[in-house]
């Protein structure tokens, strides 16, 4: 059963990957049709064709055996003729070729935006909302001790101690709280009273942004015998969950989130270049399939963040000035250099920045 489920998750990952390749190549195809390019073949995957169909206009549509990339082949792409056919790719104006090749990146980014919108409207992501502002723990002699936070149920936490709650342009809420817990511990160790320790937060309360001072509690929890200390820690005294955005809120936030995902990829690439991140963090289509399958096994809801994340990866990688990528092809179009490959296979690259 485990082997079967593992196979099904890998199959799901391949379907997701094919979807993202399809979206990317569809961008090239649509732009090419609008700008009157002659398209010879639209293919998902490479290698031997499993299925192919040729339309009345002479366009071939193929699904090939290796689902690890794809291409949209234009007539005359890669030819070195001085006087190409007027329908050929090389006969088109440079600005048209640039638009066609960057259309794939645009489609990837729009996919990241759309799935970010879906994610924010269904399960939320980095912004947190207080669901319970009171916690109860076992005190000495098995008595119950309650701690009530100055945060209120329904408060949406926007910043902690001046740092924005934002996975890309700030920090994750859990990381910010962990830092404050460490500060509270040091405060007490240095002789301070925990009652004098407070944290500046900005919350959205009843539709308005407010700055508040939140308390950190020194919570001592005892085991069932009522005498032995089970744990001693510093807590905000709240339970929280992801804030689920309304459609109107998500409509604005999804663009920020998509840019944030792209920004994380760029930061990761910088860390790779400066040897602060291991090169094993970057992978091709096999790595992408493995990542999708692994996270999907944990929860299918993870697909809602994986799809925009990988879409942003594709958009960024195809903007890199590498000949096999779209930016490289755009540069070739701009400076009049031709590509020697008649059918360029655009494979998927993925930077694991989790």
pLDDT for residue 297 = 65
pLDDT band of residue 336 (cuts 50, 70, 90) is very low
Q: Which CATH number fits domain 128-243: 1.20.120, 3.30.70, 2.30.42, 2.40.128?
A: 2.30.42
What is the C-alpha separation between 123 and 306, in angstroms, rounded? 14
So what's the pLDDT on residue 327?
A: 45
Find tokens 């919570």 and name the residue.
219
pLDDT at 122 over 80: yes
Residue 189 pLDDT exceeds 50: yes
pLDDT band, residue 76 (cuts 50/70/90):
confident
What is the model's pLDDT at position 242?
94
Share of the chain above pLDDT 70, in %: 78
Is residue 131 pLDDT above 80, yes or no? Answer: yes
Q: Which of 107-111, 199-203, 240-244, 279-283 has the lowest mean pLDDT?
A: 279-283
Domain boundaries along the sequence of the chain? 2-123+248-351, 128-243
Q: Give the per-residue pLDDT at 265.
A: 84
Answer yes or no: is pLDDT of 35 > 80. Answer: yes
User: Residue 313 above 80 pLDDT?
Assistant: yes
Q: Name the more confident of 287 and 21.
A: 21
Q: What is the mean pLDDT of residues 56-68?
A: 88
For residue 23, what pLDDT is reported?
Answer: 92
Report CA 322 to chain centroid distance, whole Å: 22
Q: Are 88 and 38 in contact (CB under 8 A)?
A: yes
Place 344 in a pLDDT band, splitting at 50, 70 and 90: very low
Quick one: average pLDDT of 123-141?
86
Residue 74, pLDDT above cutoff 80: yes
pLDDT over threshold 80, residue 276: no
In this model, does residue 275 exceed pLDDT 50? yes
Q: DSSP per residue over 207-275, as a string? A: TEEEEEEEE-EEEEEE-TTSSSEEEEEEE---EEEEPPPPHHHHHHHHHHHHHHHHHHHHHHHHHHHTT
322: its two tokens: 């590498």
Average pLDDT over every residue of 196-216: 93
pTM over 0.85: no
Q: Is the pLDDT of residue 331 over 90?
A: no
Share of the chain above pLDDT 90, in %: 40
Average pLDDT, the chain: 82
Integer Cα distance of 202 and 119 in angstroms: 24
Res. 328: pLDDT tops 70: no
41-45, 103-107, 257-261, 303-307: least confidently modelled range: 303-307
Counting other chains too, the contacts that 58-63 makes at CB distance below 8 Å and 24 or more residues apart are none
Q: How far is CA 339 from CA 73, 250, 312, in A?
A: 12, 41, 26
pLDDT score of 335: 40
Q: Which tokens hold the place of 188? A: 């007490």
């Amino acid at each position: 059963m485990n082997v079967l489920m593992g196979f099904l998750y890998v199959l799901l990952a391949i379907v997701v990957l094919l979807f993202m390749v399809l979206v990317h190549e569809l961008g090239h195809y649509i732009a090419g049709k609008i700008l009157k390019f002659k398209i010879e073949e639209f293919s998902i995957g490479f290698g031997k064709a499993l299925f192919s169909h040729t339309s009345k206009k002479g366009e071939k549509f193929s699904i090939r055996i290796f689902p690890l990339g794809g291409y949209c082949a234009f007539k005359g792409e890669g030819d070195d003729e001085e006087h190409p056919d007027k329908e050929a790719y090389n006969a088109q104006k440079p600005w048209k070729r640039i638009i066609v090749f960057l259309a794939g990146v645009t489609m990837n980014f729009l996919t990241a935006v759309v799935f970010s919108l879906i994610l924010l409207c269904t399960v939320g992501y980095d912004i947190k909302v207080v669901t319970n502002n009171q916690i109860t723990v076992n005190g000495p002699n098995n008595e119950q001790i309650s701690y009530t936070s100055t945060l209120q149920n329904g408060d949406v936490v926007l910043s902690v101690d001046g740092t924005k709650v934002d996975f890309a342009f700030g920090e994750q809420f859990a990381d910010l709280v962990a830092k404050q817990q460490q500060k509270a511990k040091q405060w007490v160790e240095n002789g301070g009273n925990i009652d004098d320790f407070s944290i500046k937060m900005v919350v959205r309360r009843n539709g308005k942004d407010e700055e508040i001072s939140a308390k950190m509690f020194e919570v001592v929890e005892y085991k069932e015998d009522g005498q032995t200390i089970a744990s001693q820690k510093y807590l905000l005294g709240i339970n929280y969950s992801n804030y689920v955005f309304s459609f109107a809120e998500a409509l604005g936030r999804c663009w920020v989130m998509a840019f944030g995902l792209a920004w994380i990829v760029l930061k990761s690439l910088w860390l790779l270049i400066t040897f602060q991140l291991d090169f094993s963090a970057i992978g091709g289509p096999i790595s992408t399939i493995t990542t999708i399958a692994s996270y999907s096994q944990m929860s299918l809801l993870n697909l809602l963040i994986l799809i925009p994340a990988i879409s942003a990866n594709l958009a960024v990688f195809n903007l890199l000035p590498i000949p096999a990528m779209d930016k490289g092809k755009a540069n070739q179009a701009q400076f009049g250099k031709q590509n020697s490959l008649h059918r360029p296979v655009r494979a998927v690259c993925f930077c694991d920045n989790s």
